[in-house]
A and B are shown apart, each in its own frame.
Chain A
């Protein structure tokens, strides 16, 4: 990215705004889709397309901010305090994992997203087991890890395409 400091700052701001909106639309779509497996805490992780794009195109701090805003607004609009708690637990673990893995540059976007998806489900189910005082809930973990891996890989591949296109567009316009 060339361009002046000011134009880059504005670009980052606009990008965060657009991707927050996109993440919220994805959150809504996800809340409407019914996954045939009746397992607590199971999610497709579609909003992660937007979060990974922010992480790769804009930056770490911005990705954390966008994700936090997305979760808070989504809980406020379509959820409740319960869903907020569980999503937060999953999101914190997932964000941390993805940020660290992106920094050490060991995996591509797909690997980072897989780890993020798995840790998201892990965090949610641990929070649920803890809040509801039930270790039996943990027996859902194997299925949650497999679904997190598969959805994480698909989401990561899509996010890589989106991030690359957004980056190319930015280089052209700035």
Chain B
């Protein structure tokens, strides 16, 4: 009985890893394309939409008064100077492809890359 259970455990572990690895690759191939906009949401509401080909930096005030600075630099977006306790948003680093996001859970701030007009913008090189 115990042996059987351990075999089932192993099957469960393998299934979880295989399925999520497959989903991971599908997302990378079919969802992640070059992005065009960074959409900033606070507590579920869109507050800004930043063009990726215009370098800028904006300060965002999140849930419970926290602040994050969002920087657009050379088509990439990153967060800096966040006063959240975990600094997870800063450690996420740079994102630029659709489906990618930077999340600051304590401030309820999300930056999402979107690109419905990505092709059009691609052809306009500065």
Contact = CB atoms under 8 A, between A and B. Distances in A.
Interface in A109-164: 110-111, 114-115, 118, 128, 131-134, 136-137, 139-143, 145-146, 148-149, 153
**B contact residues, range:** 35 or more
Contacts of B19: 145
Nearest to B110: A134
Interface in A80-121: 80, 82-83, 86, 106-108, 110-111, 114-115, 118
Given A107-B12, A133-B44, A134-B112, A40 B105 contact: yes
Interface in B86-119: 88, 91-93, 99-101, 103, 105-106, 108-110, 112-113
B6 A108 contact: yes
B61 interface: no
A110 B64 CA distance: 39
A111 B12 contact: yes
A70 to B, nearest CB: 19
Contact of A111 (B5, B88, B103): B5
B91 A38 contact: yes
Contacts of B31: 139
A interface: dominant SS: helix
A53 B91 CA distance: 34
B16 A106 contact: no
A86 B105 CA distance: 9
Contacts of A107: 5, 8-9, 12
A106 B113 CA distance: 42
B33 interface: no
A76 to B, nearest CB: 15
Contacts of A149: 13, 16-17, 20
Contact of A38 (B16, B45, B92): B92
B27 A139 contact: yes
A132 to B, nearest CB: 5
Contacts of A82: 63-64, 105-106, 108
A136 B112 contact: yes
- Which one of A80, A107, A137 has the highest number of Cβ atoms from chain B below 10 Å of its Cβ? A107
Contacts of B113: 136
7 contacts: A38-B92, A80-B106, A82-B63, A128-B103, A131-B44, A131-B108, A132-B44
Given A83-B106, A118-B16, A132-B103, 4 more contacts: A114-B12, A131-B43, A132-B43, A139-B99
